[in-house]
C-alpha cells in the first residue's frame, strides 16, 4: 500500500497525542502534522497536501466542518476522518454529502481509528457511532429504490465495509470471478464507478447502517 501522510487536528492535548500515537503504530502511516486549532492546520494541509486528515468538529477557532469543506474543495482526494464527542443523528448524512470518508464517536474504543484507516485506505468508508436513527420533526429523505438482488446486496455491504474481492469470495464461498462479476453488475445497476460512491449509495439506500 502507498505511504500515508497524516495530519491530526484536535484541541484536547491528551486525546490528540493518543490519536497520533495510534496512527504511528500503523504501518506506512507517517504523522506529518499535529494541531490544536483549525486555521493553522488548514494552511498547513493546503501547502503540504497530506493524504489523511483526522479532525475534531469542535475547534477553538473554526468549525471542523469548515476545515473539511475548504480542504476537500481544494484537495478533493484528501481522505478525511472525523472524530467528535458531540455526535448527532443527522451528522453522518451531512458528512457523507460533504465527501468525508469516516466518522467516529469519541465514546468508541481508540482501536476504531485503526479499523477506520484500514478501511479508508482501501477505498471504503467507516462510520461508528452510538447515536440512533434521526427522530426529529423533519422527515429524512425517502429510501432509494434498491435494484439489487439479495446476493448483490450482501456483496455490496461487504464492498462498502472495505473488504477486498478475495475476502468476499472466501466468506461467501464464491469464486473470485463470480464476486468480480457481482461487483461489476452492482456498480452498473446503481450508476457508480468507485467504492466510495457505492458506499454512499448503500448508506442512502439503507443497504448498510451508519
pLDDT in tens, 127-149: 876 444 333 333 344 455 778 88
Q: Do domains 4-128 and 150-205 have the same CATH topology?
A: no
State CA 175 to chain mean position distance: 28
Cell of 23: 496512527
Q: What is the pLDDT of residue 141?
A: 45
Q: What is the pLDDT of residue 138?
A: 38
CATH-assigned architecture of domain 150-205: Orthogonal Bundle (1.10)
Side-chain half-sphere exposure of 58, counting CA atoms within 13 A: 7
Stated pTM of the model: 0.67
* % of the chain exceeding 70 in pLDDT: 89
**Domain-wise residue ranges, the chain:** 4-128, 150-205
26: left (phi over 0), alpha (psi -120 to 50) or beta: beta
CA distance linking residue 210 with residue 189, whole number of Å: 22
- The Cα diameter of the chain in Å comes to 52
pLDDT averages per 10-residue partition of the chain, 210 residues = 89 94 92 96 95 94 92 92 80 80 86 88 75 39 69 87 84 91 90 78 71
CATH number, domain 4-128? 3.40.50.2300
- How many residues appear in the chain? 210
Amino acid at each position: 500500500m502507498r505511504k500515508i501522510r497524516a495530519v491530526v487536528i484536535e484541541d484536547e492535548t491528551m486525546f490528540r497525542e493518543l490519536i497520533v500515537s495510534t496512527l504511528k503504530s500503523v504501518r506506512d502511516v507517517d504523522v506529518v502534522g499535529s494541531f490544536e486549532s483549525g486555521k493553522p492546520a488548514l494552511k498547513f494541509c493546503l501547502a503540504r497536501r497530506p493524504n489523511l486528515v483526522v479532525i475534531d468538529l469542535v475547534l477553538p477557532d473554526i468549525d471542523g466542518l469548515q476545515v473539511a469543506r475548504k480542504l476537500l474543495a481544494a484537495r478533493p482526494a484528501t481522505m478525511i476522518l472525523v472524530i467528535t464527542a458531540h455526535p448527532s443523528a443527522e451528522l453522518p448524512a451531512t458528512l457523507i454529502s460533504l465527501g468525508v470518508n469516516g466518522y467516529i464517536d469519541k465514546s468508541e474504543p481508540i482501536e476504531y481509528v485503526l479499523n477506520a484507516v484500514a478501511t479508508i485506505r482501501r477505498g471504503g468508508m467507516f462510520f461508528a457511532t452510538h447515536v440512533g436513527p434521526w427522530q426529529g420533526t423533519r422527515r429524512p429523505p425517502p429510501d432509494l429504490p434498491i435494484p439489487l438482488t439479495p446476493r448483490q446486496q450482501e456483496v455490496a455491504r461487504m464492498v462498502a465495509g472495505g473488504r477486498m474481492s478475495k475476502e468476499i469470495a472466501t466468506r461467501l464461498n464464491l469464486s473470485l470471478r463470480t464476486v468480480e462479476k457481482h461487483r461489476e453488475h452492482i456498480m452498473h445497476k446503481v450508476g457508480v464507478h468507485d467504492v466510495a460512491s457505492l458506499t454512499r449509495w448503500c448508506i442512502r439506500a439503507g443497504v448498510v447502517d451508519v
